Every structure is written in C-alpha cells, then in structure tokens.
Amino acid sequence: MASRQGASKGLGLASGAYGRGARMVTHASRASSTPGCREVAVVGAGAAGLVAARELRRENLAVTVFERGSEVGGTWVYTANCGSTASSSSAYHIHSSLYESLRVNLPKEIMGYSDFPFLENSGSRYCGHAEVKDYLRSFVQHFDLESMLEMNTLVEEAEPAEGGKWRLRVRPRGDQEGHDRVFDAVVVCNGHFESPKFPQGVGRENYSGSQLHSCDYKTSDDDRFVGKRVLVVGMGPSGDDLCREVAEVASKVYWSGRGFDRFDEERLRSVRSSLRGNIILRGNVASVSGKVVTFEKGSEDPVEVDTILWCTGYHYTVPFLKGSGAVQTERGRIEPLYEHLFHPKFGPKLSFVGLGFRILPFPFFEIQTRWVARCLSGRCSLPTEQEMAAEAEAFYGGIEGEGARVDMTHCMDGVQWDYLDRVARNSGGAPKLEDWKIGLYEINRVKKARHPKEYRDLTLPEEVPLMEKGAARAQSFLAQLQEL
Ligand SMILES: Cc1cc2nc3c(=O)[nH]c(=O)nc-3n(C[C@H](O)[C@H](O)[C@H](O)COP(=O)(O)OP(=O)(O)OC[C@H]3O[C@@H](n4cnc5c(N)ncnc54)[C@H](O)[C@@H]3O)c2cc1C
C-alpha cells in the first residue's frame, strides 16, 4: 500500500512562472473548529478539490484529499488516451474530456482563483490546456498542499458511520482490497465531465457508421473524420469548437442542434457566416438507421454520414455514494441538495462542490468551498435539516412547475452572480467575486456569441480597462512572490 507521503511523491510540480519553490501558506487564525468536526476527506484533486483543500486547511481542519490518478488537475490532465473509453482505462485512470487543440474559453484574467492569478506564460489570454495544468500544479506547490494528497487512491464507497461520521472505503493502486478510513465530513469534488450522455430514443444502436462521444475526441487527424461526411450533434462549447475543427479535414459536416430549429433566419445567417462552407446546419436528430440520419424538422432531408460525433453532454455520477442511498442522480441532477451544495440531512458533513454549469469555474469552486470550510469549522451555520429540505423541495418544485428541464437544475445561466453573492454572504462575510471579473465574463459571453470562431484572438475595447485590473492583480502577486 502506498504510504501517505510516498503517494504524494512524484507529482512533478511545476515552478515556472510562479517562481521555484515559492511558498505563501496562509492559515486563518481560528481558535477551534466545530466540536466533533476535525478530519475532512476531499474526493478528487481537480480544480475543485484543490481549492477545497486549501480553504479547509485555512479553517484549521485536518484534510485528506483522495485522488485516484497519479497527477493533480483532473480534467486538465490531458493525454492522447484520456477519454472515458480509452484503452488504458482503469479505475485509476484520470478521465479527461479535453482535446489536443483545446484553448480555454475564458480569458485568463478571470479564470484563476482570487489570490492566485494566471501569470503570463504562453502570452495568449486564452491559453491551451497544458498551461492550466501547470497553473494547478503551481497552486499545489504555492499553498503547500502536497502533504494532504493521497494520490493513486480510489474512493470506492462512502457511507454514514456511527457518531455522525463518514466511513470511506479507499483502495490505493496495486492493493487487492480497499480499507476503511473514518472522517467527520466528506467534500465531494469528483467532477462531472466523465460519464457521456447520449440522446435517448433515436436508435443510436442502429447506426452502422463510426460514432463517438466528444469525451473521446482527441484530434481531427483520425480516419473517422479525414475526407468523411460527419454529423456533429450538440450546440454546447464542445459541439461549437469541434464542428469547426472537424470541418477542416472532413468532406462535409452536418451540425445538428435543437436550438437551430428555434433560430430565426437572421440568426441562422449569422451563425452560417462564421462557419466554413462545408458545414451545414441541421435541427434536432429524430432517428438514426444504417448510415442515415433524419431530423425532427420534417422539411430537412435525411442525410447519410460516415461518422457521428455526439457532443451531447454528461451525466452526474457519484458511484461511491450509491450504497449509502444519500443522493439520487438519475434525473440529471444530484438531489436532494440545498443551494447545489449541502445535503439537507448531513448538512456541512456532506457537500458537493462545482455541480453548476455555465459558470466561471475556479472562482465558483473557491467561493463554494469557503462556505463549506467555514460551516465545518463552526464559523457559520446552516439552516436546520427541515429548512434546507423544504428549500430544496421548493426549488425543485419551481423548476418542474415551470416545465423546465430537470437536467438543467444545476445550470447557472443568468443566476450565477446572485448565487455566488448569496454563498459569500452566507459564509460570514467572505469576499464576493469582484465586479470587474463579472464584467469581463459577461463581455466574453457576448464576444463569443458574436465571434464564435475568432473570439479567443480578439480584444474588444470595452475589455481593456477590465484587463488592466487583471494585469495589476498579476503584477502585485508577482511582487509578493519576489518578496518571499
Ligand atoms: C472540454 C472541456 C472544456 C473546458 N473548458 C474550460 C475552460 O476553458 N475554462 C474553465 O474554467 N473550465 C473549463 N472546463 C470545465 C472544467 O471541467 C473545470 O474548469 C474544472 O476543471 C472541473 O474541476 P473539478 O475538480 O470539478 O473536476 P475534475 O477536473 O473532473 O476533477 C475531478 C477529480 O476527481 C477524481 N476522482 C473522481 N472520482 C474519484 C474517486 N472515486 N476516488 C478518487 N478520485 C476520484 C478524478 O480523477 C479527478 O482528478 C472545461 C471542461 C471540459 C470537459
């Protein structure tokens, strides 16, 4: 069995732009933690789990982060074979749904945590995935998180134990069997871009060509795309990026999205004008048979394609909680949860970080984990179980009452800033997300919609004063580093 220290060795932490070995460990001077709450387990060492570890330790809690992979960074640990159906796949495989050419879709000035800005590296405001991985490794080094990490260790089960504690069954790589560890609380940071979701009822199993999910797409230099007729399904960020990338090598790309059915002519014209001539827009897929795909909008002719690339999202899964019956995930959300974060019954002792989508991820995780940490340390408290359950019920009832899609429960479009304000307020006066970051995020959103192809290489005049705030933040951080 790997020892705790041994397990964290060999992370190959970066120093790079952040200075070799620079450390700036800040502990909050808290006198005591909530009686009975001391040992906290974090599942996952991605962007959510790492900042959770830091925030928990700032509250003087004893933290153990279990990570099944051998590297920190989760999604950002890209390899050519990192998809969910990769041949090297094992329980210890880090699944990453990134692709080789991926550049971030948010400017670096706002992507990082509050007190650890991205520094100039590649020179681009929208860097490649490797730079994000370096950033996260540097974060571990800078805040001295290594000793909390138990790498190559899979959490197989988690369930409530006597005395309000949690029993985790963990299995280090190479061990035949897992062993039990007991904690006062569990913070679930296992990510939600791993388990591919496909449209139901279209007859995907009857398709006779090649098909793959975007989680397994790595490059377009692939026989399934080069010179082929390809259908890309889905209008999210992956569908948008990949239909453009595939079109550079394919003979023809049909891009299908349920949203296209609802666009008026002007909007369709504007989308088309940003696309290569060999990309043809289609509505929602109705059925698939042989190599022929039909679409819901009757007026659209069926098409024959060689390959289907499903960019149709992911399921939420928490396999290690299955036996506990604590949460349900079948309906495309994790329930029941109060404020997308806390389990009403277990309160701060069972939390789920980063379930939101269409968010500013790293700051979102940071603000959430501050709330978790401060509740666990006793600095702030949650409503009663009944109040949290009632609020969760009312929230779910609202979604269903409006006829909205249940699997959009954790979608934060339009509500993210209010949510984060509320979380910060509930965290005993924790800092709010700065207005200039919100401003840049919103400009980026519009810029991306108007210039979907080239937004990453475009700086709008209204971004400049906000970017200067980001540059000033990076400068003062660098000056701090130099003083150390
Ligand atoms: C294609 C794509 C593009 C994206 N682009 C951007 C972008 O430009 N900017 C941005 O900010 N965000 C982007 N994101 C979102 C990105 O996922 C988040 O930024 C963030 O990395 C998610 O972090 P996480 O910690 O929640 O999850 P993950 O990064 O998935 O980390 C979860 C970790 O938990 C571990 N784990 C899971 N189960 C267990 C277990 N049972 N035992 C032990 N360990 C376990 C995993 O191995 C993994 O390391 C993108 C996502 C995708 C898929």
Burial of 301 (0-12, 13-18, 19+ CB in 10 A): exposed
Render pLDDT for 343-357 as a digit per residue (tens, 0 to 9).
999 999 999 999 999
How far is the centre of ligand 1, averaged over its atoms, from the C-alpha of 114 (Å)? 19
For residue 261, what pLDDT band results from cuts at 50, 70 and 90? Answer: confident
d(CA 417, CA 440): 13
* Fold agreement (4-11+34-195+314-436, 198-310): yes
CATH class of 4-11+34-195+314-436: alpha beta
Specify the ligand 1 atom closest to the Cα of 360: 11
Residue 368 Cβ < 6 Å to ligand 1: no
d(CA 398, CA 235): 26
Residue 46 Cβ < 6 Å to ligand 1: yes
Give the mean pLDDT of the chain.
90
- Cis ω for the linkage preceding 35 (within 30 of 0): no
Residue 112 Cβ < 6 Å to ligand 1: no
Strands (E), 1-38: none
Residue 477 Cβ < 6 Å to ligand 1: no
Superfamily, domain 198-310: FAD/NAD(P)-binding domain (3.50.50.60)
Measured over the CA atoms of residue 72, residue 75, residue 80 and residue 81, the dihedral's sign is positive
Share of the chain above pLDDT 70, in %: 90
Render pLDDT for 417-446 as a digit per residue (tens, 0 to 9).
999 999 999 999 899 999 999 999 999 999
How far is the centre of ligand 1, averaged over its atoms, from the C-alpha of 162 (Å)? 32
- What is the pLDDT, as a whole number, of residue 29? 34
Above 60 in pLDDT, residue 87? Answer: no
**What are the structural domain ranges in the chain?**
4-11+34-195+314-436, 198-310
Question: Structure pTM?
Answer: 0.92
Above 90 in pLDDT, residue 15? Answer: no
Specify the ligand 1 atom closest to the Cα of 104: 8
3-state DSSP call for residue 140?
helix
